[in-house]
Structure 1
Amino acid sequence: MSSTAPTDTPAADSFSAEHIASMSDPSALPQPQDAPIKSARYKAAPTDFVVHEVMDIDFTEDGEHLWLHVQKVGMNTAFVAQLLSEWAQIPLRDVGYSGLKDRHALTTQWFSLRLPKKTAPSTPFAPTDLNEGESVSILAEHWHNKKLSRGAHRANRFVITLRDMDTDIAGADTAAVDSHLSHIAKVGVPNYFGVQRFGHHGNNVRDALNFLARPPRPAKASKGKKRRQAPRERDTLLLSAARSVIFNHILAARVRDNSWDTGLDGEVFNLAGSGSIFASEQMDETLAERVRTFDIHPTAPLWGTHNDKVSGTAAALEQAVIQDTPLLTALAVGLERHEIKAQRRALRLPIEDLNWQWLDNNGLQLDFILPTGSFATSVLASLVATLHS
């Protein structure tokens, strides 16, 4: 796939704040079916949005890493990591965790502490300077011979309660909601990135435009070779926002033409449950059957250089989405100029073990599992037209 990168990349002031916000709003993106719930509240309380990390691991019960199963409310993962480093009196770099969990929720996840002396802190973990509504506690602990690395957990289990629901849309009622949930349990939902990736009113996308408009960081010499320096953590967040908004709009185009869960000529497919991908020049019945049985999923790019596996109709669609929208063009050009290498992400999000129950006072509780890197709000967006928090 040929690059379209010119010399310069427009900065954020080339686009209105309203346009950036609207392009970054996942709720404005199309769904395969109309949502049966007109509006609902979620996160009315932390216990209305519960996230449990699904981690499959056999602990060695020895080694220098103390793994802690932590429950937190009202605080983000990075803040808890800081509290743990202070408690154990170790550098923050020696605290490991797999993924970032929502602040406005009740969540459980694993952390690891590198303790070379193989001795746990002598005092209980009981932070004192917490704000109202914040709490954190250790549920279990194990010794292990490895640090917990990013992306180590396979999935997250969500227990989400919707309240104050309005199902008065196209005559929908509880039966229509039940039918919709049964349907998406079988076919999945579009794998959109959630609003939290883009910041308030798309601020992360705005900052990404400004970052990408600057010249790339100079290559760093190492043993006679020049290597591009790795992005800083904040820069990584901005690059992720840029790639995510492009992905969302390519996926939106695939939802509109009903190819998001089928495939196109020139498609790059993801092998379900893995990071493996493969390209195919032409759709055939064998591939179509593998898609229908969730063995493989169509993909779209996390934009960057070397996006050369896609071809044919699929490649033409991706290029058209980028070229038809100046903001997406600016982001794509900037990513290529900064030599960010392209990756692929599945267009379809399968929902594992979806269960639900109706509650008193017009409430609905959902319980389901999603693979790492996906967003529960993608499931909610399929079900609820307008979400209020």
Structure 2
Amino acid sequence: MSKLPQWSRSLDAAFGPPKPGQYRAKPEDFLVDEQLDFTPEAHGEHLWLRLEKRNQTTLEMVKSISRICGVTLRDIGYSGMKDRIAVTRQWLSVHLPGREAPDELETLLDALGIKVLEKVRHPRKLKRGVHRTNAFTLRLSGEAVQADDFVRRWQALCEQGVPNYFGPQRFGPDGRNLQRAEALLARGWRKRDDRQGMMLSTARSFLFNELLSARLADGTWNQPIAGDILMLDGTQSVFGIDIVDEGLVARAAELDVHPTGVLWGVGDGAQGEAGAYETQLARQHPALCEGLEKSAVKRARRALRMRLTMPQLTWEADAVLLSFALPRGSFATAVIGELIRHPDMA
């Protein structure tokens, strides 16, 4: 696949396609703050660092800390990958049993554009996916922001939720990560060829986006249908349904539960009307689906919709500041893509 498709948007039916706009003109226009739901215990073998980075990836920061502290990459833990062109805050852990970090750690990191905000000990390594939310502050500008319907678009997202698409950064420039994933799965996935599982994740993300787009087009992305597997808002707890009743419809309208889509792999899927979308997905993309099953990765679920927590809009001269929090694993670019048209969203 040479180019990613144009996936459906939720606001087009009511407002039409978004107008051109700008975001992330500079890193300070895209602020991300990772939120844990627990406090490190102030003792233990692992030094936890709350860091602020600018204009670099999480992996680049990890490599710098590995070099400065004289530890292997495996000795460093982090919960999530954060954007490069941004100012982001997140926690990392460094395994330093019986010793302290180098005295010059903060000075050396500061020279690399990394600020140490907090230092605390904890008994355990920071593992992937343990943070609860990411808080965002984004600056948008351009024709879309000046349009008469911009505030109404924003309000609609706050009220109905946002399609929980994987963002374009998951697929790499011009979709090259997806091309690599297709090639790897075609010849047979092997751990040694994909140590971090990024190619598996890329393929599953693409299939999820395809299913979400189909349900958006049919108007079923934000309401339960027969055979759905629903997820409780703010959790990873899921439950299957055979039929849809008024209670479930009401809970979905209140954003208390969300329909889910499949992260493809081995295992049982949805049934009934919801299962038909997965059957169609397998027909449309047999090579990807079969390659993922042969890799033995297990099926999982992801909510088709995300709720904006603590949303705020503030005008700033000819731009607007949007602040909100999203569940871990959700992409702010999915929000931006509903509000402005930008080459990165194409």
TM-score normalised per structure 1: 0.83
Alignment of 1:1-389 (within 5 A): 17=2, 21-23=3-5, 28-34=6-12, 37-127=18-108, 135-166=113-144, 172-173=147-148, 176-217=149-190, 232-234=194-196, 236-308=197-269, 310-323=270-283, 325=284, 328-360=285-317, 362-386=318-342
- Distance in 2, Cα, partners of 1:195 & 1:125: 33
- Distance in 1, Cα, partners of 2:188 & 2:120: 46
Alpha-carbon spacing, 1:290–1:165, altered in 2? closer, same or farther (3 Å): same
* Contact 2:109/2:115 (<8 A) preserved: no
What do the CA deviations read for 1:184-223 (whole angstroms, capped 9, x no partner)? 1121111111001111111111111111111354xxxxxx
Which consecutive residues of structure 1, in runs of 5 or more, have no partner in the other structure?
A: 1-14, 218-228
* Contact 1:30/1:256 (<8 A) preserved: yes
Which consecutive residues of structure 2, in runs of 5 or more, have no partner in the other structure?
A: none
- Distance in 1, Cα, partners of 2:338 & 2:195: 32
Shift of the alpha carbon at 1:339? 2.1
What do the CA deviations read for 1:150-196 (whole angstroms, capped 9, x no partner)? 1111011111111233458xxx41xx211221221121111111001
What do the CA deviations read for 1:80-133 (whole angstroms, capped 9, x no partner)? 111112222222211111111111111111111111114232224333897xxx
Give the AA of the match of 2:57.
Answer: N
Per residue, is there more helix in 1 or in 2? 2
* Contact 2:189/2:291 (<8 A) preserved: no
* Contact 1:71/1:106 (<8 A) preserved: yes
* Contact 1:64/1:145 (<8 A) preserved: yes
Alpha-carbon spacing, 1:285–1:202, altered in 2? closer, same or farther (3 Å): same
TM-score normalised per structure 2: 0.93
Alpha-carbon spacing, 1:332–1:66, altered in 2? closer, same or farther (3 Å): same
Greater gyration radius: 1
- Distance in 2, Cα, partners of 1:233 & 1:177: 43
Give the AA of the match of 1:155.
Answer: T
- Distance in 2, Cα, partners of 1:315 & 1:298: 12
Pairwise CA RMSD: 2.1
**Alignment: residue pair count:** 342
In terms of mean alpha carbon deviation, does 34-43 or 310-319 score higher? Answer: 34-43
* Contact 1:73/1:135 (<8 A) preserved: yes
* Contact 1:68/1:111 (<8 A) preserved: yes
